[in-house]
Chain A
Amino acid sequence: AQSVAQPEDQVNVAEGNPLTVKCTYSVSGNPYLFWYVQYPNRGLQFLLKYITGDNLVKGSYGFEAEFNKSQTSFHLKKPSALVSDSALYFCAVRDDGGATNKLIFGTGTLLAVQP
């Protein structure tokens, strides 16, 4: 069965510093990987996805993520954090060999960027 793990409940980083939010996955086939962000009282906003091709994926708001097949990881990164990046981040996976195209979400990582 497919699954996603976000090992950190919270990540703290100072404004201007680089940030990394970790995600590992488990699927039986090839993974389709996604990052979403959720601001308070808002729905999930799509940030980026990896389907195939270049392992480094660039997305919205300066975020990027690197697909690492050997480590089954898809960590979210940003070179310079902003206070406005503070939010809840979810990693999700879909198995291309699955019978349906539902997304399996991780438990979320709260990113707190201090001024």
Chain B
Amino acid sequence: EAGVAQSPRYKIIEKRQSVAFWCNPISGHATLYWYQQILGQGPKLLIQFQNNGVVDDSQLPKDRFSAERLKGVDSTLKIQPAKLEDSAVYLCASSLDPRTTFEGFFGPGTRLTVL
């Protein structure tokens, strides 16, 4: 079974630029999560999708971050404009049915550096 795919793996941009990350979850997984992991901290949930609907985006900085999952499969996370404090690893995860399986399966992450 293929795992969660993410691209790019690394991205370096200057502040005020925009950037987009892509995630393809495990086939059949209805739930998709985007986490932000700042160096020295644990991952923090940014947004959770159930199919193509948003379940939780309470910690998403909506003035600059946006995410979509139009067809209920892959997803994109966008930052516009980026700030220095957005430097982090962005992790995508998916789960089959969080009511029964609970744990998420994580992709390798995208490491973003904002200069």
List residues of chain A with CB under 8 Å of any chain B CB: 4, 32, 34, 36, 41-46, 49, 51, 90, 92, 94, 99-103, 105-108
Contact = CB atoms under 8 A, between A and B. Distances in A.
Interface in B78-107: 91, 93, 98-99, 102-107
Contacts of B91: 43-44
Contacts of B111: 41
Nearest to A43: B106
**Most chain B CB inside 10 Å of its own CB: which residue of A43, A46, A105, A106:** A43
B4 A34 contact: no
Interface in B17-64: 31, 33, 40-45, 48, 55-56
Contacts of B4: 43
Contacts of B72: none
Given A46-B103, A99-B56, 12 more contacts: A34-B103, A49-B102, A90-B43, A100-B56, A101-B48, A102-B45, A102-B48, A103-B45, A105-B42, A105-B43, A106-B42, A108-B41
B33 A32 contact: no
Nearest to B42: A105
A107 B45 CA distance: 14
8 contacts: A32-B102, A44-B93, A46-B104, A46-B105, A99-B56, A101-B31, A102-B45, A102-B56
Contacts of A45: 106
Nearest to A108: B42
Contacts of A44: 43, 91, 93, 106
